[in-house]
Amino acid sequence: MKVTRLEVLRASWFMWVKVHTDEGISGIGDLHGGSGGVGDPAAVRAGVEMCGDYLVGKDPLQVENHWQHMFRMCLFRGGADLMAAIGSVDMALWDIAGKAAGLPVHRLLGGPVRDRVKVYGHLVGDSPEAMAENALSMKEKGFKALRFYPLGPFSEGVPDSYTGIVRRVVSFVEAVREAVGPDLDLMIDVVCRLTPPEAIAVGRAIEPYGLFFFEDPIEPDNIDVMAMVAERQPVPIATGERLYTIYQFRELLNKKAAAYIRPDPSVSGGITNLKKMAAQAEAQYVGIVPHNPCTPVMTAANLQICGAVHNVPVLEYTANEHRSPKCDVVNRLPEFRDGFLMVPKGPGLGIELDEKALKRFPPERHSRAPVMAGDGSLRDY
């Protein structure tokens, strides 16, 4: 079997890579880094083209060897755009390998270690009351874990006082906790918008509410400072969706900067690299909670990883929100049962893109509005 071509497919602000072979078997991967909200679409497509220049004519089943070549053929390695290209191609190669073997990918990775994965849904609401109402609705749908943004929509600024930030976060956390009761797992994400003192104060203020984790409290670039924040506030830290190599995650883990790491299968180099990151984390008794904000193709890849990795406590899941491009571009959604997603048992990733459905969602660039502080200065996007 030989690779014949790589194809980039688009719908709405989502992108995928399809790897074709001369035996009619193809594989797909979620090109999350091409969304515009993560990387530059043109740069990511150029990365896919570069991977194609290497892969065409080669045996797609030599997945690890191809990963090493695609990663190392750039002298200045890393970067979200290139790693997203490598990651999506890697997912597609594993999809081909599973289909060729007639097995789900998690079997090729040594699994299964579980047959279902606990998932958390996303909450929405512009006020504590609205967020609490949405939490009750999600609980009624069967979710046993929920995550939300207590600082409000991405387009809104943060409160213009130190105590105002703390009060806002506490008001949302308190409302949601009172609505769902003590036994449902809750997580918050402030999307890297806080300073270290603000993050420490927020973590201490929300300690009584028993959160599962506090995600991305500060900007992710200085891991020493992230470790300081993790040490000085009591809520477990989850971070890592903006990191993309095993070397970055090694530093994060060695400095005890996170209780849960959050690599993205696309941006962090695919299934091959996430398996290695999970092993690094397992050695430190740290959980891996893969980043999973995009389409069911990404969810399928994550479920295959979770089916073969021991230290996965929970998985992000957003396709339940019924945003049409997230749900209507594949032949099936994973089975949701009582707060869990069942690990697919079909060959490969266990899912296929519906290319006819893609035409209903014209390509568009996704962008995030800047987040401003009260004095007009910029917070992290």
pLDDT tens track for 187-240: 999 999 999 999 999 999 999 999 999 999 999 999 999 999 999 999 999 999
Same domain, 121 and 60: no
pLDDT at 322: 46
Low-confidence ranges of the chain (pLDDT < 70): 33-39, 153-156, 319-326
Tell whether 182 and 48 lie within a shared domain: no
Task: Supply the pLDDT for residue 173.
Answer: 98
The reply to whether 36 falls in a domain is yes
Q: Are residues 237 and 299 in the same domain?
A: yes
Q: Which of 82, 104, 126 is where one domain is finished?
A: 104
CA–CA separation, 271 and 87 (whole Å) = 7
Number of domains in the chain: 2
User: Could you say which of 104, 130, 157 is where a domain stops?
Assistant: 104
Classify residue 168: in a domain, yes or no.
yes
Looking at the fold, whether 10 and 53 belong to one and the same domain comes out as yes
Q: How much is the pLDDT for 153?
A: 67
Same domain, 67 and 80: yes
Q: Give exposure, 204-219, as e/b (b: 16+ Cβ within 10 Å).
A: ebbeebebbbbbbbbb
Domain assignment present for residue 353? The answer is: no
Q: How many angstroms separate the CA atoms of 122 and 215, rounded?
A: 13
- Determine if residue 128 is left, alpha or beta; phi over 0 gives left, psi from -120 to 50 gives alpha, anything else beta: alpha
Asked if 169 and 221 sit in the same domain, the reply is yes
Q: What is the pLDDT of residue 35?
A: 55
Strand pairing class (336-337; 340-342)? antiparallel
Residues 90, 131, single domain; the answer is no
pLDDT of residue 159: 86
Report the distance separating Cα 96 and Cα 18, nearest Å.
10
Domain membership of residue 139 as a residue range: 107-348
CATH classification at residue 54:
3.30.390.10
pLDDT score for 81 = 84
Residue 258 lies in a domain: yes
Tell me: do 153 and 27 sit in the same domain: no
Residues 137 and 83 in one domain: no
39 falls within a domain: yes
Instruction: Let me know if residue 233 belongs to a domain.
Output: yes
User: Does one domain contain both 125 and 97?
Assistant: no
Same domain, 100 and 68: yes
98 domain-assigned: yes
Q: What is the pLDDT of residue 123?
A: 94
What type of residue is 114? R
In a domain, 377, yes or no: no
Which pTM does this prediction carry? 0.95
